[in-house]
Amino acid sequence: MPQNPPRNVNWASKGRWVHVAKGAFEKYFLHKVRVGTSEPYYEKAVMKFLDVGKIKRSAT
C-alpha cells in the first residue's frame, strides 16, 4: 500500500519578524485583490526562475 504524507502539518514561529512578515503579506494580498491582478509579472518571473509550473486541470 502506498503511504500518503500527513496533510495537517502546521508550524509556528515567534518573534518580531513573524509579525512584520504577516503584515507585509496581508498588505500585498489585499493590494492584489483591489487591483484585480491574479498573477503579476514578478510572480510569474519568480515561478519561472524556480521552475515551478501550474497544475493543469483535466477536462471532465
- pLDDT reported for residue 27: 95
Q: Are 34 and 26 in contact (CB under 8 A)?
A: no
- pLDDT reported for residue 45: 93
Instruction: Quote the radius of gyration of the chain (alpha carbons, Å).
Output: 17
- All cell numbers assigned to 41: 509579472
Residue pLDDT tens, the chain, 60 long: 777 777 777 778 889 999 999 999 999 999 989 988 888 888 889 989 999 888 877 766
Half-sphere exposure of 30 (CA within 13 A, CB side): 6
| Integer Cα distance of 59 and 30 in angstroms | 31
